Amino acid sequence: MKKLSFRIIVFLVIPVMSMSECTSPKGINTSDDLNRWLIEMTIQELQQGYRNNDYSVVDVVTAYLDRIAAIDKTGPELNSIIQINPDALLIAEELDKEIAEGKFRGPLHGVPVILKDNIDTGDKMPTTAGATVLRNSYAANDSYIVKKLREAGAVIIAKANLSEWANFRAYVSSSGWSGVGGHTRNPYVLDRNPCGSSSGSAVAVAANLCMAAIGTETDGSIVCPSNANGVVGIKPTVGLLSRTGIIPISYTQDTPGPIARTVGDAAICLGAMTGIDPSDDKTMASEEKYQTDYTKFLKADGLNGKRIGILKNAGGYSDKVDTLMFRAIREMAAIGAELIEVDAPSKKEYESAEFQVLLYEFKDGLNRYLASLADKAPVRNIKELIEFNKKDTVEMRYFDQKILIEADSKGDLNSPEYLSMLEKCRRATRDEGIDKIMNSNRLDAIIAPTGSPAWKTDLLNGDHFVGGSSSLAAISGYPAISVPMGFVDDLPVGITFFGRAWSEPVLIEIAYSYEQATRHRKAPLFHLTDEI
């Protein structure tokens, strides 16, 4: 198996440890020293260091920016970052002043966070969705969740690369590629795909380029890259987090969500972003259901006594993944969970219907977003976007835009076809899907392998997607959490826990208990290629 060159290996062989396993970092006085110390550090450990005056927010942000420069843009060239926040250090200085005054804004004070580049920030970073047409599109205001992150003390240090338009442009495409950012690489094996569409978000977390990142999901775009990059991803109930200021695909399925190295860190980020947003009526349903602190559900014995459904027809695409799934089932049973096999609805009941729903909603949502940009972008709607792309050599170099064309041909959201397909999706995945399965079997959660090991990136033929389990939770709008389950050779794979609407607390209990008992997460070593 080929490795990186000696020069790069010397740089990358960094002690993989958390602060709980080490002596105090007092006396660290160089960015390089702190860079090594930050590897695999948790949010709580980081903030304890602030309270101990072990380092400053400026120290930490500088170390992460140095690591991005050394690993993302040179060295392995992960290419997970589209834009560095030019004000990151100024923000860090302000947060340091507050710490000196004994003030902590919230649970993310001084925590470096990276955003998927379809999330608006009212600062000096454009919001591009990876598309060249939006290369110079600067939002007037922060999105709702970015406001919440800043209020909690987060330092937004960068925007992450993604599958362009959140992978809703071409039937044949390569996840992690965008016209603005190029192709993101998997940090475990560099010629493997990071999955998407939140590719850069998951890669940045996996490679320790930030403490946490925010992705978005319509169907699989948080859990699939979490699976491929050995990290934790939470896809919340639609409506738990606001979508205001996020470039849309689907009104009924879109949601942002946290990506982190641990369930605990993801839970902290999740609580920091919840709230009722008058501009997103989906959030109204979360009233009296959302939490601002999900850490109280981090229970090591959270699996004990839980009744878990094993989705029978969710595997079978990889013998090696199935073997890891059987091991995970044994591990959960040893903790005290009761596991039973359950049948899932046939995918033919919702797959084609989902795609039609997405086409209608994409046209409606993207047209609204583009129109709102006024003079900040050269196009006002999908029709103009299609014409722009035809003339752009970067955009049309590898992939077509057949999904854009098909979406543009659809009618409005009063169309009988749209309403019929939407009802079919809801019935198949909710009434006859997750709700029926859980109620009839008295389940606390359902499990399935998140997906396959990462495939080799292929810009000519596109993704070689083998299998995944995201669609039931995605189409129903219900929550899912992907957690590392182990490795197939050098490639990580995950297990997904999903359940009823607003069941994030119980899913976090279960996911945290599994994580703490198994600890399958390992930092990447940036192999150039493999022989799998």
Distance CA 394, CA 180 (A): 9
Q: Which CATH topology does 6-10+26-518 take?
A: Amidase signature (AS) enzymes (3.90.1300)
Q: Are 60 and 99 in contact (CB under 8 A)?
A: no
Instruction: Give the residue from 484, 467, 464, 470 showing the smallest Cα distance to 532.
Output: 464
Torsional class of 245: left (φ above 0), alpha (ψ -120 to 50), beta (otherwise): left
Residue 436 annotated among the catalytic residues of the structure: no
The pLDDT assigned to 30 comes to 53
Distance CA 186, CA 198 (A): 12
Q: Which two tokens stand for residue 443?
A: 């389940």
Give the CA angle between residues 306, 311, 314 to the nearest 5°. 145
The pLDDT assigned to 313 comes to 83
Q: Beginning with the edge strand found earlier in the chain, give each strand of the sheet holding 112-116 in spatial order.
A: 81-84, 155-160, 112-116, 212-217, 255-260, 232-235, 480-488, 491-498, 445-449, 307-311, 338-342
Give the CA angle between residues 267, 272, 275 to the nearest 5°. 115
Low-confidence ranges of the chain (pLDDT < 70): 1-33, 531-532
Distance CA 505, CA 400 (A): 42
Torsional class of 163: left (φ above 0), alpha (ψ -120 to 50), beta (otherwise): beta
Element (H, E) at 421: helix 416-426
Out of 56, 173, 197, 513, the active site residue is 197
Element (H, E) at 512: helix 504-518
Distance CA 344, CA 253 (A): 20
Out of 56, 80, 116, 476, the active site residue is 116
Q: Where are the beta strands (DSSP E) in 312-353?
A: 338-342
Which pTM does this prediction carry?
0.95
Distance CA 201, CA 225 (A): 8
Instruction: Give the residue from 16, 10, 6 showing the smallest Cα distance to 524.
Output: 16
Residue 347 annotated among the catalytic residues of the structure: no
Q: How many CB atoms lie within 10 A of CB 375?
A: 5
Residue 352 annotated among the catalytic residues of the structure: no
Dmax (CA) of the chain? 68
User: What's the distance, CA 396 to chain centroid?
Assistant: 26
State the residue for tokens 């169309």: 415
The pLDDT assigned to 13 comes to 33
Is the CA virtual torsion 249, 251, 252, 255 positive or negative? Answer: positive
Out of 56, 174, 199, 221, the active site residue is 221
Distance CA 63, CA 39 (A): 11
Cα-based distances in Å from 304 to 36, 325, 338, 438, 443: 37, 19, 8, 18, 13
Q: Which two tokens stand for residue 503?
A: 């069941």
State the residue for tokens 């079919």: 424
Element (H, E) at 210: none
Q: Are 444 and 506 in contact (CB under 8 A)?
A: yes
> By three-state DSSP, how is residue 325 classified?
helix
> By three-state DSSP, how is residue 248 classified?
coil
State the residue for tokens 């046209």: 363
What's the mean pLDDT when you consider all of the chain? 93
Distance CA 288, CA 279 (A): 18
> By three-state DSSP, how is residue 36 classified?
helix
Cα-based distances in Å from 315 to 100, 344, 405, 438: 53, 12, 34, 19
Distance CA 326, CA 511 (A): 17
Give the CA angle between residues 147, 504, 116 to the nearest 5°. 40
State the residue for tokens 């060239």: 77
